Amino acid sequence: MCGILGCFGSENPYSLIRSSLQRLEYRGYDSCGVAISDRDKIHSYKVSGPVSGLIQRAEISGAISGLGHTRWATVGTPSAENAHPFMDCNADIAIVHNGDLDNFIELRESLLLRGHHFSSDTDSEVFAHLIEESESNLEPIQRVNSILSKVTGSYALGVLFRSSGVIVGARHESPLVIGTNSSGGFLCSDVHAIAPYVDHVIHLEDGDLALLDTTGVSLFHGDKPVTRTSHPVSWDPAEVDKAGFDHYFLKEVFEQPKIIRNSLEGRVRLTNPTIDLANELPNMPITGKIGVFGCGSAFNAGLLGATIVSELIDQEVGAHVSSNYNRRLLTKDLALAVFLSQSGETADTLATLKVAKSAGIKTIAITNVPNSSITRLAEFTLLNKAGLEESVGASKTFTSQVIDFVLLCLWLNQTDISSLNDTIVDMHNLSNHLDHILDTYQSMEDIALTISNASSIFIIGKNLSYPIALEASLKFKELAYIHAEAIMSGEIKHGTFALLTSETPVIAIAKSGDQYKDVVQTVREIKARNAPVIVITDQADAFLNVADAVVTVESSLPIGFSLEASMIFQLLAYRAAIAKGCPIDRPRNLAKSVTVK
């Protein structure tokens, strides 16, 4: 969740770290801090709140190295006192840490008994004092390595030594990337934060350590030197530019038509309807039951994708929340386990993937981040073509995950493709349909205002519409801080009716088909309880004299309807959040990359 950063060899380490931390804020923004060594003293600057609170400062004379951290609180409240970096009792060592230490209470108590003083309530600070107790005549890399066996839990660790200015990094079950350029080295939680400054990056493996000093970057596994694959870095400033939009979220919503075109290009052909993923997934014949796993929006994408697939072809597929998986499911009759993660670093999803691998199940990752942890763990990888997503709330990556998962399942069932001409045409038309929604979304302003004034809303859907409702409810929670509950439309009479009032709007998702009339009847029953009703549908006639507002989508086919409706909800949640004055791209208490369980 937290973001850590270290640099050695820069002439302006404070400015560089501060700038890079702003690109790490999606990992947490409860507090932040910087530590700079001039080899005489470690200068520390910490604030509660986002990186903007770290003011621009004159560079410290003689300083060439430093650490930075942006925090998502796990142990200890959000405050300047609990902000990283932390120092040992002599201010000779500074550390930054991302992860969770399981045995920190025992470690802290024993350190207190030995006379150490703590400045925070966090688990991370024990690292500084443990290293302080290591043998001072050892080299920095040896000092850090000597204490790692004492801690249990996960860590991406950066350590700064005052007297030499060298930096040591260590990784166990939390991502850590090493970057290099002609003048020095970097360590960071994410390539994105250091991409403007480095030529190549190396992804550390569990048990690896890195030394950043005057000779460059040296890698170790435990106490033995090791080499790891280096990857070139490309940096496109346009990806982090808001391109005239007020917020990244809205920019990313507007990018979705292009993302769909990118997702289909080279994979789907209209003539002789064909889906071909062989270039990306060579030698992958699979028959049998498929399971898809994810957390948050990734789970919702998996559930929606699984529901779409079940409507299109005869394929058994089930969706599961990674943090709540059934071990028996992963060891019984699953032929393929698919893992969705925007960041490729979601802790619960990575843990479930490891269980699937140990059970001998074929695994595939669908992610938006090349070379992320999930790509190195899974047997196969299908990369989303969404591009960098800055806003904490998922939009284009959700759409990309749905498209890619559906394409995967259809490709694995090639015998059925010839009967899916309408679906393939629908995919190609979808980007134009989304463009039309974007052209007219300002007309939804009154609906968004109604929603923004509510403290609680309900979103109902049946079958295909239910996972759409789940993702919609998450968007209203994340962006607009509105309690939103997704309910299967047939279940709303079983208890939820007791909560309906004139101040609890209900949004009904009604797709034409066998059970369309059931949703129409449910809407009538809701209106009889005096609750405002908004309907999103591809067939508006039955609701025109019943609902308070109707938003129409163009497609009646599963994938088109689903993603058009999902975009409408993204826009409604955005406008409701604007009306309430919420911080769109950085919602309180959240982080985009959930790297702790």
Q: Which two tokens stand for residue 242?
A: 């808001």
**Residue 240: which pLDDT band, with cuts at 50, 70 and 90?**
confident
Closest among 462, 381, 412 to 309, alpha carbons compared: 412
How high is the pLDDT of residue 421?
83
State the chain's mean pLDDT as an integer: 93
DSSP letters spanning 80-139: STTPSPEE-TTS-EEEEEES-BTTHHHHHHHHHHTT---SSS-STTHHHHHHHHS-TTS-
Does the CA dihedral 175-181-186-188 come out positive or negative?
negative
CA angle (442 as vertex; 437, 447 as ends), nearest 5: 100
Distance from C-alpha of 424 to C-alpha of 417, rounded to nearest angstrom:
9
How high is the pLDDT of residue 418?
63
Q: Mean pLDDT throughout 251-264?
A: 96
Q: Mean pLDDT throughout 277-304?
A: 91
Name the active-site residue from 46, 396, 475, 592: 592
Q: Which of 51-60, 455-464, 498-507 comes out lowest in average pLDDT?
A: 51-60
How high is the pLDDT of residue 365?
98
Distance from C-alpha of 77 to C-alpha of 96, rounded to nearest angstrom:
17
End-to-end CA distance of the chain: 10
Closest among 394, 385, 366, 367 to 268, alpha carbons compared: 385
From residue 359, how far is each of 331, 351, 420, 464 by CA, in Å? 5, 13, 34, 31
What are the structural domains of the chain? 3-235 (3.60.20.10), 239-419 (3.40.50.10490), 433-583 (3.40.50.10490)
How high is the pLDDT of residue 33?
96
Distance from C-alpha of 166 to C-alpha of 546, rounded to nearest angstrom:
69
Buried-exposed string 182-208: b where 16+ CB fall within 10 A, e elsewhere? eebbbbbbbbbbbbebbeebbbbeeeb
**Residue 417: which pLDDT band, with cuts at 50, 70 and 90?**
low
How high is the pLDDT of residue 415?
61
Q: Which of 21-30, 162-171, 429-438, 455-464 comes out lowest in average pLDDT?
A: 21-30
How high is the pLDDT of residue 514?
74
Give 306-319 pLDDT, tens digit per residue.
999 999 988 899 99
Give 109-139 pLDDT, tens digit per residue.
999 999 999 999 999 999 999 999 999 999 9
Q: Could you confirm whether 2 is annotated as catalytic?
A: yes
How high is the pLDDT of residue 594?
82
Q: Mean pLDDT throughout 170-182?
A: 94
For residue 595, pLDDT beyond 80: no
Name the active-site residue from 2, 7, 32, 409: 2
Sheet with 483-488, strands from edge to edge, namely 483-488, 456-461, 506-510, 533-537, 549-552
- For residue 478, give the DSSP letter: H
DSSP letters spanning 488-507: EGGGTTTTGGGG--TTS-EE
Query: What count of residues does the chain have?
Result: 597
Q: Which two tokens stand for residue 349?
A: 């999803």
Residues 6+ apart with CB under 8 A from 278: none
Give 505-553 pLDDT, tens digit per residue.
999 999 998 789 999 999 999 999 999 999 999 999 999 899 999 999 9
For residue 209, pLDDT beyond 70: yes
How high is the pLDDT of residue 329?
65
Does the pTM surpass 0.75? The reply is: yes
Residue 330 or 162, more confident: 162
**Residue 424: which pLDDT band, with cuts at 50, 70 and 90?**
confident
Q: Could you confirm whether 592 is annotated as catalytic?
A: yes
Residue pair 351/320 in contact by the 8 Å Cβ criterion: no
Give 64-104 pLDDT, tens digit per residue.
899 999 998 889 999 999 999 999 999 999 999 999 999 99
For residue 27, pLDDT beyond 90: no
